[in-house]
Amino acid sequence: MAIASVTPARQVPMKGIPEIMGSIVALVTPMTPQGAVDYVALTQLVQWHIDAGTNGIVAVGTTGESATLNVDEHCEVIACVIKAAGGQVPIIAGTGANSTSEAIELTSVAKRIGADACLSVTPYYNKPTQRGLYLHHKAIAEAVDIPNILYNVPGRTAVDMLPDTTAQLAQVDNIVGIKDATGDVQRGIELLDCCGQHIAVYSGDDETAIELILQGGAGNISVTANVVPEKIATLCKLARAAQQGSSADQQQVRDMDKALASLHAAMFVEANPIPVKWALQQMGLIGSGIRLPLTELSQEYRQQLERELIAVGALQGADIT
């Protein structure tokens, strides 16, 4: 189906927030083989991303194993990332919860320790109504004075925040963006149409992110950027530059993105962050730690993922372990 186009100029930074655009890595949380958070590796990862041109970092999102960290660890990881970044790039703290009071508590901590913004996922498992979603996010935004990015990922949460609800939330002063992880570009375009003049629209799906940016999106909150940060940063920069460019300029960016399509797919052969943590382990950047109920990548997918990493230059040929 043909993709309808929007006017890219409508997607601009709003509400006085720090510029959070381009490639925003959904950072993993490194762990030792025994499952303890590896703060040394985490600090090194942050600097690696800054050196590679990553434009922003999400700490303790889905990819950062927010579901397996306790509250103290959750806050300590955010603090570590903020300290390691040293103000060089914006840090977005994952502070969502399926309890509104818990989300407010986590968001308050993120504000206190210096996060630039928070990422607030739709409440999972309890399946609130659209009114419940509106009141939940409004309550967080009104309780804590920090730029708030909404996060809609129905494939994980079993609830879908509809564009009309997002448009209502876009009127709240410190709600500044939405990460749309539906993987549906038409949904992203609908969000741009209904609230792109008020909040930034980010992709949360690597396979469709560049198309959404070309249509006017602000950036890509990316899993794949964990392993090829320079490539994702370059693609996002070119896609944003091509928003108002010629069709030839836009097609060139789409063609470049196609070279990463197989890697994007391989990042999800099992539940995120299983593949990306295994990939980073093979690259020598983190240890093997991952917490139950998550497990290491199944043997049957390892050759496929290694092959894709080698193809994009992220890994030299090596024995599969």
pLDDT, tens digit (0-9, with 9 covering 90-100), for 259-286: 999 999 999 999 999 999 999 999 999 9
Domain contains 13: no
What confidence score (pLDDT) does residue 82 get? 98
Name the average pLDDT for the chain: 93
pLDDT, tens digit (0-9, with 9 covering 90-100), for 196-211: 999 999 999 999 999 9
Domain contains 316: no
List, in order, residues 6 or more apart from 87 with CB less than 8 Å away.
Answer: none
User: Measured between alpha carbons, how far is 119 from 153 in angstroms, rounded to an integer?
Assistant: 12
Residue entry with tokens 């920090």:
146
User: Quick one: tokens of 199?
Assistant: 């909040």
Domain contains 189: yes
- Is residue 151 flagged as an active site residue? yes
| List of E strands, the chain | 22-26, 56-59, 91-94, 117-121, 148-152, 175-180, 200-203, 219-222
User: Measured between alpha carbons, how far is 295 from 165 in angstroms, rounded to an integer?
Assistant: 36
- Is residue 179 flagged as an active site residue? yes
**What's the whole-model pTM score?**
0.93
What confidence score (pLDDT) does residue 19 get? 82
Q: Report which secondary-structure segment, H or E, holds 113.
A: helix 100-113
What interhelical angle do 130-143 and 100-113 show, nearest 10? Answer: 30
Domain contains 5: no
Q: 10-residue block means of pLDDT along the chain (321 residues)? A: 42 60 98 97 98 98 96 97 97 97 98 98 97 98 97 97 98 96 97 96 98 97 98 97 91 96 98 98 97 97 98 78 48
Domain contains 153: yes
Domain contains 126: yes
Q: Looking at residue 106, which CATH number applies to its domain?
A: 3.20.20.70
For the CA atoms of the chain, what is the radius of gyration?
A: 18
Domain count, the chain: 1
Give me the catalytic one of 111, 134, 151, 231: 151
User: Measured between alpha carbons, how far is 100 from 63 in angstroms, rounded to an integer?
Assistant: 21
- Closest among 96, 292, 71 to 181, alpha carbons compared: 96
Containing domain of residue 56, as a range?
18-311
Give me the catalytic one of 111, 134, 179, 277: 179
Q: Is 57 helix (H, G, I), strand (E, B) or coil?
A: strand
Domain contains 168: yes
User: Measured between alpha carbons, how far is 109 from 95 in angstroms, rounded to an integer?
Assistant: 9
Domain contains 318: no
